[in-house]
């Protein structure tokens, strides 16, 4: 290859390398932003005794909002689905069975749906299975999936 052909080939390869680096950088930034959105939701799960919180529903709604934003960036992340399911289970466990029964069942169903997505994304994750079992127990769904 003579010198006149080397320069265009070098420019082409350098351009392809730059495009690859830009793609990788974009993917990493997206993952980083999703993790930043998920952090408040994780902290909420680790906070402990929610009985002392003044407005428990508002705190959980904000946590679910954070994890929903993370899921918007990474919809196939099983950990985010598991976090969402756990937040929903924790949110509605204190609701009155008589006054908010329909809301409570709907909340448990949403938790179950999120936990199913978590298990589908990583079926070797025992916490996702345990929380899925808890959601099914609360919904009184004693079916094959429950006993699996």
Q: Residue 131: which of 68, 76, 71, 83 has the closest Cα?
A: 83
Q: pLDDT tens digits, residue range 21-67?
A: 778 777 778 888 888 889 999 998 888 666 667 788 888 899 999 99
Residue 2's pLDDT is 61
Residue 109's pLDDT is 95
Residue 106's pLDDT is 95
Give the Cα separation of 80 and 71 in Å (integer). 6
Q: Is the pLDDT of residue 71 over 60?
A: yes
Measuring CA to CA, how many Å separate 119 from each of 56, 106, 144, 145? 27, 20, 15, 12
Residue 30's pLDDT is 81
Mean pLDDT of all residues in 9-18: 77
Share of the chain above pLDDT 90, in %: 41
In degrees and rounded to multiples of 5, residue 147 shows phi and psi of -80, -15
């Amino acid at each position: 290859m003579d010198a006149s052909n080397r320069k265009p080939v070098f420019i082409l390869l350098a351009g392809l390398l730059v495009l690859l680096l830009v793609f990788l950088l974009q993917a990493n930034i997206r993952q980083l932003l999703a993790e930043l959105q998920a952090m408040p939701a994780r902290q909420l799960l680790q906070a402990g005794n929610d009985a002392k919180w003044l407005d428990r529903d508002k705190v959980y709604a904000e946590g679910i909002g954070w994890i929903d934003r993370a899921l918007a960036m990474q919809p196939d992340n099983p950990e985010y689905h598991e976090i969402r399911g756990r937040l929903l289970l924790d949110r509605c466990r204190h609701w009155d069975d008589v006054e908010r029964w329909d809301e409570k069942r709907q909340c448990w169903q949403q938790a179950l749906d999120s936990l199913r997505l978590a298990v589908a994304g990583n079926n070797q994750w025992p916490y996702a299975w345990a929380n899925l079992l808890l959601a099914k127990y609360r919904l009184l769904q004693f079916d094959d999936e429950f006993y699996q």
